[in-house]
Structure 1
């Protein structure tokens, strides 16, 4: 097994970091690695905002509720960004055509995928340096507040954060769904063919939660998903995205 595969297969989210800071060289290497990710038609429809100001981290913590948002060596915020493209228009007619295209669901998907690919490159680069990372989707708990804090222009939306630092704990690797429930060959498997693998995963997760070194509990993946999707969550994101002139068509 080569080192890249070893790094990928040993990923775990790190939520406790030491006080050791990252060097500017480390930060630039991580961001440059992010930039080398694949991007649709070379649009590069994302921006990365590095958060170094502790007051800003504290405000973002109030949105997220997770202490690692304020206690980390460095934080990257990934934004879907079509503002640059919007500003390239050089005639009024050209501007209207570009605006119409940027408002489509397709371009929102492009921006989201571009940002996610860049972020995963950043995560792998950081982990290859012996650093730990954790994705922060909870910044969308109050997406308008994050938008205000970052002073984002139109056609730019905050998607998620990535906290980085030197690990101060060593959590167990969380099991994933069996490959047979994720990987489909040539056509989608009927759910009935997936159920046995989901049941096996529920048993594995029950054991994982019951035996891990901290925060033990009795739970399964199925129960978690039912709880999660039985309660409307972040329903303000849709109108917010539209207010930024995205996903309107």
Structure 2
């Protein structure tokens, strides 16, 4: 075990932060670490918007589903898939890049680049003794989020990252067993094996909730997932993504 691995394995989402802003040095270091992440073909197809304006934080908290930790944290980062600058590259170099920018492949590149950068940022923050929480709720109201942030076409805010000094540490949720996630040489397609693994994981999760809530909660992982997935969410996304100039081809 080394400090990097220890930091990674001790991750948990923090939803309560001290009223203490990050320093400019901390913010810049976190962004520099984000930029050090791998990027497909050096394309660097993402941008990060830092939110310090209290009113904007308040509005974003409401748009994200009234999540208080969007408003109350040390700093709020928003990671965006960004091909806007590559549109400018095409104009600068007098090259037609539109078909490439509208491809599904470049949409995936932008989303993956932003995600890799954000995980570097999260790890950097946690290594500094800070807590983090990813905020996907911004995608519930992307039209309004884009207006608030003055986001141009070919840029999509994907998620937020709340960072700050934790007021307390939450417990760490047990992840799926390695056998569920890691496959040797080919994908394990035996449903009976996978189902048995999930039954065992359900027991682990149920025990976790019982202990955490003093017996008031004992639901399983599969019941949570089934309940969540039975009702489709954010079904406007395909149209919105295409409207922003992504994933048209």
TM-score range for the pair, normalised by the shorter chain length: over 0.9
Tell me by how many angstroms 1:90 deviates: 3.7
Summarize the alignment of residues 92-111 of structure 1 with structure 2, pairs less than 5 Å apart: 94-95=95-96, 98-111=97-110
Give the distance between the partners of 1:157 and 1:187, measured in 2 at CA: 34
* Aligned Cα root-mean-square deviation (Å): 1.5
Q: Secondary structure at the match of 1:75?
A: strand
Which residue does the alignment assign to 1:129? 128
Tell me by how many angstroms 1:218 deviates: 2.3
Tell me by how many angstroms 1:143 deviates: 1.0
Residues 93 and 49 of structure 1, relative CA distance in 2, 3 Å threshold? closer
Give the distance between the partners of 1:225 and 1:17, measured in 2 at CA: 28
Give the distance between the partners of 1:216 and 1:156, measured in 2 at CA: 43
Give the distance between the partners of 1:215 and 1:244, measured in 2 at CA: 47
Which residue does the alignment assign to 2:232? 232
Q: Secondary structure at the match of 1:94?
A: coil
Tell me by how many angstroms 1:205 deviates: 0.6
Give the distance between the partners of 1:214 and 1:55, measured in 2 at CA: 38
Give the distance between the partners of 1:162 and 1:87, measured in 2 at CA: 27
Aligned length: 247
Residues 214 and 56 of structure 1, relative CA distance in 2, 3 Å threshold? farther
Which residue does the alignment assign to 2:171? 172
Q: Unaligned 5+ residue runs, structure 1?
A: none
Q: Secondary structure at the match of 2:168?
A: coil
Which residue does the alignment assign to 2:74? 73
Give the distance between the partners of 2:193 and 2:52, measured in 1 at CA: 48
Tell me by how many angstroms 1:91 deviates: 7.9
Q: Secondary structure at the match of 1:78?
A: strand
TM-score by structure 2 length?
Answer: 0.96
Query: 1:65-118 CA deviation, whole Å, 9 max, x = no partner?
Result: 2110001110000000000001112489723xx111111111110000000000
Query: 1:36-68 CA deviation, whole Å, 9 max, x = no partner?
Result: 000000000000000000100011011112110
Summarize the alignment of residues 198-237 of structure 1 with structure 2, pairs less than 5 Å apart: 198-212=198-212, 216-237=216-237
TM-score by structure 1 length?
Answer: 0.96
Residues 138 and 167 of structure 1, relative CA distance in 2, 3 Å threshold? same
Tell me by how many angstroms 1:14 deviates: 0.1
Give the distance between the partners of 2:114 and 2:12, measured in 1 at CA: 21
Asked if structure 2 preserves the Cα contact closer than 8 Å seen for 1:171 and 1:213, the reply is no
Which residue does the alignment assign to 2:84? 83
Query: 1:218-239 CA deviation, whole Å, 9 max, x = no partner?
Result: 2111001101110010111111
